[in-house]
Amino acid sequence: MKNLLCTIAIACAVIACGPAPKTDETKTPGSPLDKAEMAVMAVHDETMPQIETMLKLKKQVNARIMKLDSLAGTPAEKIRADEEQAQGRLIVRHLTEADSLMMSWMSGYKGDTLKKLPEADALRYLDGQQKKVDDVKSKINQSIQQANAYLRQ
């Protein structure tokens, strides 16, 4: 039940953060502030669709962990299965943490208040946000790579 609620919440977030509709009002970078904001949002827009991939991988890794749990064999095979399960649980944790980082970044991002700040303060804020969203992207990519490697074993 908990997984179902989590999946629904993440699906809603993915839908809410989908691509912006194409209109004539789409910003073209003019000021340094607009360029910085667009750079931050470009990383978000590139990374957000990977949340769905992470959910699928998490489900696949969990299924493999469960399958390993049901295997019987020699003591050596059981040790190997236990090690593989531990590795899988670590990967699931990394996927969960990366997803949580994205959700946390999105809830903490205050793009609507940028226009109320002096430009220098807004640029400093966006610089910090760029570093945070780049870190989120890196962690998401790493966790996806780890999960794919684990599933290829």
5 or 107, greater pLDDT: 107
What percent of the chain shows pLDDT beyond 90?
A: 66
Q: What is the pLDDT of residues 101-146, one digit of tens each?
A: 999 999 999 989 888 999 999 999 999 999 999 999 999 999 999 9
114 or 18, greater pLDDT: 114
CA angle, residues 9, 12, 17, in degrees to nearest 5: 125
CA dist., res. 83 & res. 24, Å (int): 55
CA angle, residues 45, 17, 106, in degrees to nearest 5: 85
Q: What is the pLDDT of residues 48-73, one digit of tens each?
A: 999 999 999 999 999 999 998 777 67
Q: Residue 2: its pLDDT value, please?
A: 53
Residue-range domain boundaries for the chain: 43-152
CA dist., res. 4 & res. 98, Å (int): 19
38 or 24, greater pLDDT: 38
**Contact present, 141 and 53 (Cβ < 8 Å):** no
Closest by CA to 110, choosing from 100, 121, 99, is 121
Give SS3 for 109: coil
Closest by CA to 81, choosing from 64, 97, 96, is 64
CA dist., res. 96 & res. 119, Å (int): 36
Q: What's the rounded mean pLDDT across residues 69-94?
A: 88
